[in-house]
Amino acid sequence: MGIRPVTIAGEPVLHRRAAEVESFDGELRALVEDMYETMDAAHGVGLAAPQIGVGLRLFTYQYANDDGVPERGVVINPSLTLSKVSGADPDPDEEVEGCLSVPGLSYPLKRAEWARVKGFDADGKPLDFEATGWFARVMQHEYDHLDGKLYIDRLNDRWGRRARKQVKKEGWGIPGLTWLPGTDPDPFGH
């Protein structure tokens, strides 16, 4: 299929827990390839299957890291173990996230600085690695999608109010809204 439309906040698949992947087959590998193409066209650092309307527990990523992990990959049926998240307010300059399903918006969010990621690759081979810093943030962000959470759902009160107001202003929060990377204007200006 190639590049797929990215769902926007309000699409039901984004707000419910995704199902476990049960078959590691050609259909799954084709989905992974479509996800890579979509992620690349959107200039994203990660893409979860629910973001393209597929309610399965997998995500792709593209992020250079210092953790000895290939900078491009897929994690299927992941589990995450996290370090403690600081209770401090997020730094509005250093800890700002965006999301392809909340196109063009960015808000500060505290995340764990370390994550242990377990899961499988597209061939069903086990994965087990550690992620730190921003790479850990990417892993947490994409994993949240698989549990039906957007990063704006995790914002503190101050930033959460701003996000909800902007989502309403944009007319999101309803089913059926998408944007097509590589065709529609890039909401993040890449």
Domain 6-169 has CATH 3.40.30.10: no
**pTM exceeding 0.95:** yes
C-alpha 142: how far from its chain's center? Answer: 3
**Average pLDDT rounded to a whole number, residues 166-170:** 97
In this prediction, residue 187 has a pLDDT band, given cuts at 50, 70 and 90, of very high
Confirm whether 142 is a catalytic residue.
yes
Domain ranges of the chain: 6-169
Other C-beta atoms closer than 10 Å to the C-beta of 32 total 19
pLDDT tens profile 48-58: 999 999 999 99
Please tell me whether 99 is known to bind a ligand: yes
Please tell me whether 15 is known to bind a ligand: no
Q: Which letter, b or e, does each residue of 47-74 get, where b requires 16 or more Cβ atoms within 10 Å of its Cβ?
A: bbbbbbebebbbbbbbbebebebeeebb
Closest CA to 100 of 53, 154, 134: 53
Predicted local confidence at residue 69, as pLDDT: 97
Please tell me whether 190 is known to bind a ligand: no
Judged on CB neighbours under 10 Å (0-12, 13-18, 19+), 150 is: buried
pLDDT tens profile 128-163: 999 999 999 999 999 999 999 999 999 999 999 999
Q: Which residue of the set 94, 95, 142, 170 is catalytic?
A: 142
